[in-house]
Chain A
Amino acid sequence: MRLYSKAIINWCDVNMYTTGNQWSIRAGDPNTLYFQLIDLDQNGLRYVAGVGTANQPASMLVTFMSIDQSNVIQIAAQQDPNDGSIWSVPISPAQVLFGGNVQFQLTQANMVRNWIVTAMLCVEYPVNCGSDGQLADVNVFNYNPFTNSGTGV
Chain B
Amino acid sequence: MNPSQFNYTKSYGTAMYPVHALQTSGLLKRVEPFLTPEQLLSRFLKGVPLAFPNGDVFTSDDLKDRIYLAQNTAEIRLKVTVTRELRQEKLPFKQEDYKAYIHLTAEQGPICTIHQLAIVSADKNNIFEIPPEWIEAANFSKSIINVIPLLAAYGVNSVQGAVGNAGIAFLTVVDGLNWVPAYWQIQYTSGLSNTEGLVPTIVNEYIGCIAAIDILSEIAQSFIFNSQSQTQDGVTQSSSGPGPRVYVQRIEDLTKKRDDLEKKIKAIFSQKFFLGNF
Task: Using CB atoms and an 8 Å cutoff, list the residues of chain A in contact with chain B.
Answer: 20-22, 24, 65-72, 98-100, 118-119, 121-125, 127-146, 148, 150-153
Contact = CB atoms under 8 A, between A and B. Distances in A.
B45 interface: no
Nearest to B117: A141
Contacts of B241: none
B197 A100 contact: yes
Given A133-B194, A139-B132, 11 more contacts: A21-B37, A68-B3, A69-B6, A122-B33, A130-B29, A130-B30, A132-B192, A132-B198, A142-B8, A143-B8, A150-B2
Contact of A67 (B10, B33, B116, B189): B189
A4 to B, nearest CB: 11
Interface string B62-96: 00110110000000000000011110100000000
Contacts of B193: 132
A101 to B, nearest CB: 9
B248 to A, nearest CB: 30
Contact of A150 (B5, B12, B68, B88): B5
A110 B177 CA distance: 59
B17 interface: yes
Contacts of A123: 33, 197
B15 interface: yes
A37 B36 CA distance: 22
Contacts of B36: 22, 24, 122
A21 to B, nearest CB: 5
B198 A125 contact: yes
Contact of A133 (B5, B187, B195): B195
A141 B64 contact: no
Contact of B6 (A65, A67, A130): A67
A7 B110 CA distance: 33
B210 to A, nearest CB: 15
Nearest to A123: B197
Given A100-B196, A132-B16, A152-B1, A137 B10 contact: yes
Contacts of B26: 127-130
A145 B197 contact: no
B169 to A, nearest CB: 20
Interface of B: 1-18, 21-22, 24-34, 36-37, 60-61, 64-65, 67-68, 83-86, 88, 112-113, 115-116, 124, 126, 129, 132-133, 137, 185, 187, 189, 192-198, 200
If over half of B's interface residues share one DSSP class (helix, strand or loop), that class is named, otherwise mixed; here it is: loop
A33 B110 CA distance: 33
12 contacts: A20-B60, A71-B3, A100-B197, A118-B64, A118-B65, A119-B34, A119-B68, A124-B33, A129-B31, A130-B21, A132-B15, A146-B124
Contact of B3 (A20, A69, A121, A128): A69
Contacts of B8: 138, 140-143
A131 B61 CA distance: 29
A81 B80 CA distance: 46
A70 B5 CA distance: 7
**Nearest 9 pairs of A and B residues by beta carbon:** A130-B24, A99-B197, A131-B15, A98-B196, A128-B26, A98-B197, A132-B193, A68-B6, A69-B3
B37 A100 contact: no
